[in-house]
């Protein structure tokens, strides 16, 4: 951690509240740009930044200084953004982000990314339902890598775990997400399931045979 941040944090903990205001001024724009990539909405990004700084101020005494202050702050903002996205069920396309960020050739789970299932379903709601079913550890790795486009080193720093753990979680998350998407796709396409879940649905007409 740089000396200026260390000094401002010490001053803030010592009772000089305006010292935290200097930290806000220093990192507000950077954090906003990062939050905007997470939530894809200027209004939501502003809310994330405000909540993140408030949470950081309240928890400043727990900051150990073993990482950069912004990394710690970003971790708070990331968790805030994920909570907000769960509530608002965002319409971020995983496929579009994976096209932008590219593939990591050394990850053998690449060939089972959920892109093919997503192309079949063309249903973003199913995608986010599936992501929501992942464990928090797997979901965080998937969102940071395939949605946020972060490097393994950055993800490891944000989540506080080794790179090997990140690779393992990402591999499992992609496999699990693929299975969930395929399962949801098959369920939606099953006439029996549709009729059971919606008794008011009208019977489908029999296709003509030429």
Q: What is the CATH number of the domain that holds 141?
A: 1.10.10.10
Instruction: Answer whether residue 106 is part of any domain.
Output: yes
The token pair at 56 is: 């950081």
Res 5: pLDDT = 92
Res 34: pLDDT = 81
Q: Which of 43, 73, 88 is the last residue of a domain?
A: 88
Instruction: Answer whether residue 84 is part of any domain.
Output: yes
Sign of the CA dihedral 190, 193, 191, 133?
negative
Closest CA to 178 of 134, 209, 125, 136: 134
Same domain, 84 and 26: yes
Same domain, 62 and 120: no
Closest CA to 170 of 138, 200, 197: 138
Q: What is the CATH number of the domain that holds 8?
A: 1.10.1740.10
| C-beta of residue 12 within 8 angstroms of C-beta of residue 60 | yes
Q: Which of 88, 115, 148 is the last residue of a domain?
A: 88
Stronger pLDDT, 148 or 138, i.e. the higher one: 138
Stronger pLDDT, 201 or 35, i.e. the higher one: 35
Name, in order, each residue with C-beta under 8 angstroms of 121's C-beta and a sequence gap of 6 or more: 127, 181, 184, 185, 188
The average confidence (pLDDT) of the chain is 75
Res 19: pLDDT = 92
Closest CA to 187 of 123, 95, 92, 108: 123
Residue 45 CA from chain centroid, whole number: 13
| C-beta of residue 147 within 8 angstroms of C-beta of residue 97 | yes
Instruction: Answer whether residue 204 is part of any domain.
Output: no
Same domain, 102 and 179: yes
Cα 37 to Cα 85, 88, 129, 202, distances in angstroms = 12, 16, 20, 42
Structural domain count of the chain: 2
Task: Tell me the mean pLDDT in the region 133-141.
Answer: 84
> What residue numbers bound the domain in which 33 lies?
3-88
Whole-structure pTM over 0.75, yes or no? no
pLDDT digits (tens, 9 = 90+) for 113-135: 444 444 444 566 777 778 878 88
Q: Which of 41, 61, 88 is the last residue of a domain?
A: 88
């Amino acid at each position: 951690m740089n000396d200026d941040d260390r000094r401002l944090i010490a001053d803030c903990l010592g009772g000089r509240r305006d010292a935290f205001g200097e930290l806000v001024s220093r990192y507000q724009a950077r954090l906003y740009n990062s939050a905007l990539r997470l939530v894809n909405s200027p209004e939501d990004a502003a809310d994330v930044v405000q909540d993140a700084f408030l949470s950081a101020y309240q928890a400043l005494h727990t900051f150990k200084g073993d990482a950069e202050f912004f990394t710690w702050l970003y971790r708070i903002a990331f968790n805030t953004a994920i909570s907000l996205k769960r509530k608002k069920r965002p319409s971020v396309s995983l496929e579009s982000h994976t096209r932008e960020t590219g593939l990591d050739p050394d990850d053998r789970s690449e060939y089972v990314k959920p892109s093919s299932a997503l192309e079949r379903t063309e249903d973003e709601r199913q995608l986010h339902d599936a992501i929501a079913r992942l464990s928090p550890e797997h979901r965080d790795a998937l969102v940071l890598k395939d949605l946020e486009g972060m490097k393994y080193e950055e993800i490891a720093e944000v989540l506080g775990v080794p790179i090997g753990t990140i690779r393992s979680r990402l591999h499992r998350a992609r496999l699990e997400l693929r299975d969930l998407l395929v399962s949801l796709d098959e369920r939606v396409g099953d006439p029996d399931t549709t009729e059971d879940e919606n008794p008011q649905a009208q019977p489908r007409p029999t296709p003509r045979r030429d």
